[in-house]
Amino acid sequence: MQHSSTVIVGAAPLSPADVVAVARHFAKVEIADSARERVAAGRAVIDGMAADPNPHYGVSTGFGALATTFIAPERRRQLQLSLIRSHAAGTGPEVETEVVRALQLLRLQTLASGHTGVRPVVVDTYAAMLNSRITPVVREYGSLGCSGDLAPLSHVALASMGEGDVRNAEGELVPASEALAAAGVEPLVLVEKEGLALVNGTDGMLGMLVLALHDLEQLVTTADLAAAMSIESQLGTDAVFAADLMALRPQVGQATSAANLRAFLAESPIVHSHKGPEDGRVQDAYSLRCSPQVHGTARDTMGHATMIAERELASVVDNPIVVSEGRLESNGNFHGAPVAAVLDFLAISVADLASISERRTDRALDPARNRDLPPFLAHEVGVDSGLMIAQYAAAGIVSELKRLAAPASVDSIPSSAMQEDHVSMGWAAARKLRRAIDGLTRVLAIEILTGARALDLRAPLVAGPATGAVRDLVRTVADGPGPDHFLSPDMEAVTELVRSGTVLRTAKEHTDV
């Protein structure tokens, strides 16, 4: 998918949609004229301090534990260069392109604030790199989430100077100097304060938070749909999702999930087949009956995380920072605690969503609980195993998600000779949340694959409009009931339908969700 719009940087805080557009869909960026004026004014303050014989941190001193060391004017360009080279110390696999682009964009927004003291050319260079799809190679490990995402941001800064490796627009690994030259971008030569301004921010963890929230918005509604398919195919009741029952516990997310379940189950002949005064099945198992409560909790967690993300998107994170009346002040706003905590909070809800989904899948495969469906939904019981091992895969993923729900933000290892003696580990929290979201996607896909087969096995009873349409979509990539076949491709194909949003879009075409 390509995003045709242009995102204006510096006129107002970026929105989450702006971040997704640039990071994932390669939207162009443009610097607002008002931002250029602020950047020039901020730089004038730094130029004045650079000429001052008195030391100013980040301008004429060393960094971190070396903050008391005065640096002579003729050595300051080397100081900036050395800072970036030494801090570009990431290790491990490459980080995904969309994460690096989000990091680049969010650092650009802070640079365009005028509070960092960089020259306009720095802002222009970062914008040009994004627009040319030059993606610096950033490594998995290296950030402690305090003093900002130092190592990841340093890899981006290094590339802007024409050093290190990047991925070009075609995804090829090339030297940064080669990519900049091909795009007609002059490598930066950093001067006073600019090195610090390029590396002091929560941009990596924030970018991953925004992308995660975007993905979860789709996945939590997909979880409602998956639950509906399980409830319907297991002859569960929708009576427990009534609006008046939900109103007795006015949790916002719960009400939304219950409304979705009512919509997805509306007009279902299967549900109608056992509905009425004679139906005593109002005590479905918790994994069916309590789906709105669990899914709704995830929605409310996302609401809190969105509030924190939007506040952070409106923030200027750097140290030291140019503030009113031409002051350059040290501060602690680079600490990633606010972002790290909600990243961990989301990982808990992701694990819980996947956990209840796997329980619904397991019920569908158990003849003691699935209301007269074959064991494991197998074709010839004893000869065929059906979807037995698909549930194993879901269980294995859920087990890992529980481990990933252990918080990163409660850990801290001192660094920089005890100057940085408490850190957030927000980058690590973000990395594990991305893995958790991938796991949730797969667990929901397995439930939908299972629900589709169970709905088929309810014939001649007919599924509802929304759930039936999703079952038909699944049938375009995965076989229905029958003798055992190679199952992994079916699981991967349905996972892609979930990840791409095709499953949810198909269901929405038949409901008012």
Ranges for all domains in the chain classified under CATH 1.20.200.10: 209-508
Respond yes or no on whether the N-terminal peptide bond of residue 407 is cis (omega within 30° of 0).
no
Q: Going by C-beta distance under 8 Å and a sequence separation of 6 or more, which residues neighbour residue 28?
A: 6, 7, 130, 131
Query: How much of the chain is in helix, strand and coil states, percent to nearest 5?
Result: 60, 5, 35
Indicate the residue type of 145.
Answer: G
Per DSSP, 487 falls in state: -
Q: Is 286 a catalytic residue?
A: no
* pTM of the predicted structure, to 2 decimals: 0.95
As its CATH architecture, domain 6-201 has: Orthogonal Bundle (1.10)
Residue 371, CB-side half-sphere exposure with 13 Å CA sphere: 17
* Among 57, 126, 141, 392, the one annotated catalytic: 57
Distance (Å, rounded) from C-alpha 197 to C-alpha 264? 50
Distance (Å, rounded) from C-alpha 256 to C-alpha 513? 10
Dihedral of alpha carbons 238, 244, 247, 249, sign: negative
Of 39, 213, 1, give the one whose Cα is nearest residue 127: 39
Token pair listed for 440: 């949730």
pLDDT tens, position by position, for the chain (513 residues)? 445 589 999 999 999 999 999 999 999 999 999 999 999 999 999 999 888 888 887 788 877 667 777 888 888 889 899 999 999 999 999 999 999 999 999 999 999 999 999 999 999 999 999 999 999 999 999 998 887 899 999 999 999 999 999 999 999 999 999 999 999 999 999 999 999 999 999 999 999 999 999 999 999 999 999 999 999 999 999 999 999 999 999 999 999 999 999 999 999 999 998 887 766 666 899 999 999 999 999 999 999 999 999 999 999 999 889 997 788 898 988 999 999 999 999 999 999 999 999 999 999 999 999 999 999 999 999 999 999 999 999 999 999 999 999 999 998 888 877 777 788 889 999 999 999 999 999 999 999 999 999 999 999 999 999 999 999 999 999 999 999 999 999 999 999 999 999 999 999 999 989
Q: Which helix (H) or strand (E) holds 51?
A: none
CATH of 209-508, one of 2.60.120.10, 3.40.50.720, 3.40.605.10, 1.20.200.10: 1.20.200.10
Ranges for all domains in the chain classified under CATH 1.10.275.10: 6-201
